[in-house]
């Protein structure tokens, strides 16, 4: 399946700022079943983005706009091809717990097993683990599928119920959140079982014949667990789905802190109120949305006192 993706991010400042420095993780990955056939990034005011690969193989574009400006718009366009999963999960070899323990005993997976910024044990997480009777089941694949289904049943999806930098306890206490929260909780619980887990940021193509509860017109987040016999396997606890050809992978990391779509700083000499709005359109080439008006969704507003050196809001659903 081929997809056209349009991802527009708009920062608006109440007073002009003197410089923006930013890095962007918006280019879909090329590996496995997925190929990024085309990617373009432009900024307004204009800049000349440079590119590098980070330690996880994510493509990072970075740029500097030194002139004064009161608005910054990033437009990323991509054409991506994703091949379907070749075998149903129940027929694929998932390996045993002994296989997994032998693998992780090498120490090569410590970064996918250790606590990270947003995916770390807390008393509320331990309470959830007890209520779910979290333990190793018949095999790693079956256990992770069961955990995904349990989380889908126990948590309500509610947009804007948490902030981009909310710790998992906020969602755990309210039993509701967004895809980012569900991914972090799932990662923390999976690591507790000794399963290497990592965070995936990207997009989900919503289709009329496939019911999903995550928001259309936004970025998406899910989890990949490393399973013997299968390698990195996608789990989407927000929608109770295994990763398939509708999941378009952009970046992977230990958690959201490693892979925000935008991250940077701006400088100014007066008090500034900044607002962030995002518009995302994902469509298969069979039903391309070219020419459609893509609605902007407000994500963040903040105030800062002068003199200002402020972090530009990282964004995610």
d(CA 317, CA 313): 13
- For the domain made up of 93-258, give the CATH fold: C8orf32 fold (3.10.620)
Residue 68: is its pLDDT beyond 60? Answer: yes
Helix, strand or coil for residue 145?
helix
Close Cβ partners of 16 (under 8 Å, ≥ 6 residues apart): 68, 69, 70, 268
d(CA 111, CA 56): 11
The answer to whether the CB of 121 falls within 8 A of the CB of 115 is: yes
Average pLDDT of span 152-156: 96
Hey, where are the domains in the chain?
A: 2-82+260-312, 93-258
- What is the residue whose two structure tokens read 């892979």? 259
Note the pLDDT of residue 206.
85
| Residue 156 burial (CB count, 10 A) | 11
Instruction: State the Cα angle at 276 between 43 and 284, rounded to 5°.
Output: 65
Residue 212: is its pLDDT beyond 90? Answer: no
d(CA 83, CA 111): 29
- Name the percent of the chain lying above pLDDT 90: 69
Average pLDDT of span 210-227: 88
Strands (E), the chain: 2-17, 19-24, 34-44, 50-53, 59-65, 69-82, 156-157, 176-177, 197-204, 220-227, 231-236, 241-242, 247-253, 262-268, 272-284, 297-304, 308-312
Least confident window among 228-237, 249-258, 289-298: 289-298
Return the H-helix or E-strand segment holding 88. none
Average pLDDT of span 258-267: 92
d(CA 204, CA 304): 34
Of 3.40.50.2300, 1.20.58.1030, 2.60.40.2250, 1.20.1430.10, the CATH number of 2-82+260-312 is 2.60.40.2250
Please write the tens of the pLDDT for every residue from 183-210.
999 999 999 999 999 999 999 998 777 7
End-to-end CA distance of the chain: 24
d(CA 266, CA 116): 27
The answer to whether the CB of 194 falls within 8 A of the CB of 100 is: yes
Alpha-carbon distances, residue 212 vs 9, 90, 161, 239, 288 (angstroms): 24, 22, 18, 6, 20
Beta-carbon-side half-sphere exposure of residue 147 (alpha carbons within 13 Å): 31
Note the pLDDT of residue 86.
74
pTM recorded for the entire structure: 0.87
């Amino acid at each position: 399946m081929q997809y056209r993706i349009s991802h527009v991010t708009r920062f608006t400042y109440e007073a002009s700022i003197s410089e923006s420095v930013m890095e962007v993780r918006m280019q879909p990955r090329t590996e496995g079943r997925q190929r990024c056939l085309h990617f373009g990034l432009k900024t307004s005011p204009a800049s000349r983005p440079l590119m590098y690969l980070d330690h996880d193989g994510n493509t990072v574009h970075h740029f500097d706009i030194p002139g004064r400006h009161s608005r910054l718009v990033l437009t990323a366009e991509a054409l991506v091809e994703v091949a379907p999963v070749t075998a149903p999960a129940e027929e694929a070899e998932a390996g045993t717990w002994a296989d997994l323990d032998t693998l992780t005993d090498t120490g090569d997976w410590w970064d996918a097993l250790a606590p990270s910024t947003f995916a770390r044990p807390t008393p509320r997480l331990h309470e959830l683990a007890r209520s779910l009777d979290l333990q190793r089941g018949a095999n790693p694949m079956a256990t992770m599928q069961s955990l995904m289904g349990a989380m889908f049943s126990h948590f309500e999806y509610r947009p804007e119920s948490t902030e981009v930098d909310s710790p998992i306890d906020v969602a755990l206490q309210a039993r509701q959140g967004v895809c980012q929260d569900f991914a972090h909780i799932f990662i923390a619980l999976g690591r507790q079982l000794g399963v290497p887990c990592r965070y995936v940021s990207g997009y989900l193509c919503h289709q009329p014949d496939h019911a999903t509860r995550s928001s259309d017109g936004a970025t998406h987040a899910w989890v990949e667990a490393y399973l013997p016999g299968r390698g990195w396997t996608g789990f989407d606890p927000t929608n109770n789905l295994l990763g398939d050809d509708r999941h378009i992978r952009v970046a992977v990391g230990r958690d959201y802190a490693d892979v925000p779509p935008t991250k940077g700083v701006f400088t100014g000499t007066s008090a500034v109120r900044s607002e962030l709005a995002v518009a995302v359109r994902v469509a298969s080439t069979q039903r391309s949305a070219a020419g459609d008006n893509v609605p902007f969704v407000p994500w963040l507003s903040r105030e800062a006192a002068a003199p200002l050196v402020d972090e530009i809001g990282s964004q995610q659903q």
